[in-house]
Chains A and B, each alone.
Chain A
Amino acid sequence: MSRKCLILACGALAAEIVALRKQLGLSDGETELQCLPAEFHNTPSKIAPRVDEILTERRQEFDQVLVGYGECGTAGALDAVLAKHDAMRLPHAHCYEFYAGSAQFAAITDAEIGSFFLTDYLVRNFDRLVIGGLGLDRFPHLRDTYFSNYRDLVYLAQTDNLALQEQAQIAAGKIGLAYVFRRVGYGDLAPFLASAGGKEAAAHV
């Protein structure tokens, strides 16, 4: 009997999880990926109820559930849902920490507490999620309200993509921050997904 795993994740991780499934050799027969809207990043109170709804409906279909979220500002609500459904999540505060790894993330924020983080997904969607999401397209004078306490825009890159690096630099300019680049790869997401079906993760890509 095959051991099937549901990977229930934030939509912002979709491209990375698809890439990692391929790299780790996780077949469609072994894993299924279902994503929640990436926009829940701005409304974390919606994460736990939606995860609960999905797992209430589908948990019995799977032997294992891996939840592609960190704590993500859910104030314990997500952990309560995961305990209820015997599912596990990444043991980090958020994706910046699991991509960078806890030690590197702490080092970055210790060096500069005013660090504003982007991932590949956020660079791609910067104008929609950051400029539009914060209303800076309609109210550009709010830039200081949001960012006056920040100094650096830190791009935590999952892939080697020069176009994204250029976009990230432009993004830093749009919000008036200094640009910092860190090539972190998939970080702790890789070994986490590798635990689906008992696979071992390769070295971080």
Chain B
Amino acid sequence: MADDEIILRDLNDDDLVDQMKDDLYDGLADEVHEGTQILLERGWDANNILSEALVEGMRIVGVDFRDGILFVPEVLQCAGAMKSGMELLRPILAATDSKASLGKYVIGTVKGDIHDIGKNLVGMMLEGAGFEVIDLGINNPVEKYLAAIDEHRPSILGMSALLTTTMPYMGVVIEELDKRGILKELPVMVGGAPLNQEFADAVGAHSYGRDAAISAELARALVGRNS
């Protein structure tokens, strides 16, 4: 059956969730939005819609991106579709205390670097995983990270870089956190296209997230909430 013949409201819950994952994979924001609305009307818990349809759908996208089946433009379309569902869920999740937040996650691209696509995808997956994400944006000197840590008392600090010339700055930030005694209490995750585990170990990061989905899983593990 062609996609435009599928009436989402006619699908049972399991089929609807599967269709939503397919629609998310195809970057169909309106369809994902509609599917989210239908599940809410059927009494689904917002957390379950988020985890079973949206986050799971995006996880599959991440696997295919890693395997070179999907590329950046398609992933961005998928992210847009996920966002369209999250727009409906966000106010519900914010209002309910049925599931406690996993804590705050401060994230930002390092000084000298203006790339943020990967960071934004990670932020979205972290939100889907249950974190409150404080996004510092781009080009962040160490002072901004310190100020955010002071203000928000996050569970985790995340740093992103897309240039080999800017990623060493992660070491500068981590060294400063260590000097101030913060590092022993605050896990630091790093990520970005030119990074690898060896680099993360060399700069003293606690974790290296090689893609958005893995970053969210690692973050959950860091706060002791493995699924």
Contact = CB atoms under 8 A, between A and B. Distances in A.
Interface of A: 44, 71, 73-76, 93, 109, 113-114, 134-136, 138-139, 142, 145-146, 149-150
B163 A93 contact: yes
Contact of B72 (A75, A76, A93, A135): A135
16 contacts: A44-B193, A73-B164, A73-B194, A75-B164, A75-B199, A93-B165, A109-B112, A113-B114, A113-B139, A135-B73, A135-B74, A136-B73, A139-B73, A142-B76, A145-B117, A149-B138
Nearest to A138: B73
Contact of A134 (B73, B115, B194, B199): B73
Contacts of B114: 113-114, 149-150
Contacts of A75: 164, 194-196, 199
B44 interface: no
CB-CB nearest 7 A-B residue pairs? A135-B73, A149-B114, A73-B194, A75-B194, A93-B165, A71-B164, A75-B196
Contacts of B207: none
Interface residues of B, number: 22
A interface: dominant SS: loop
B37 interface: no
Contacts of A114: 114
A120 B139 CA distance: 29
Contacts of B163: 73, 93
Given A75-B199, A113-B114, A149-B138, 13 more contacts: A73-B194, A75-B164, A75-B194, A76-B198, A93-B165, A109-B112, A113-B112, A114-B114, A134-B72, A135-B73, A135-B74, A136-B73, A146-B117
B196 to A, nearest CB: 5
B interface: dominant SS: loop
B25 to A, nearest CB: 15
Contacts of B165: 93
B140 interface: no
A117 to B, nearest CB: 12
A145 B76 contact: yes
A71 to B, nearest CB: 5
Contact of B194 (A44, A139, A149): A44
A76 B196 CA distance: 10
A150 B76 CA distance: 18
Interface string B62-79: 000000000111101100
Most buried by B among A75, A134, A139: A75
Nearest to A109: B112
A131 to B, nearest CB: 11
B83 to A, nearest CB: 11
A139 B77 contact: yes
B171 to A, nearest CB: 15
Nearest to B75: A135
B116 A149 contact: yes
B56 to A, nearest CB: 23
B169 to A, nearest CB: 13
A93 B163 CA distance: 9
A93 to B, nearest CB: 5
A44 B192 CA distance: 13
A115 to B, nearest CB: 9
B205 to A, nearest CB: 15
B108 to A, nearest CB: 13
A113 B164 CA distance: 15
A39 B127 CA distance: 34
Given A93-B164, A149-B116, A139 B76 contact: yes
A79 B163 CA distance: 16
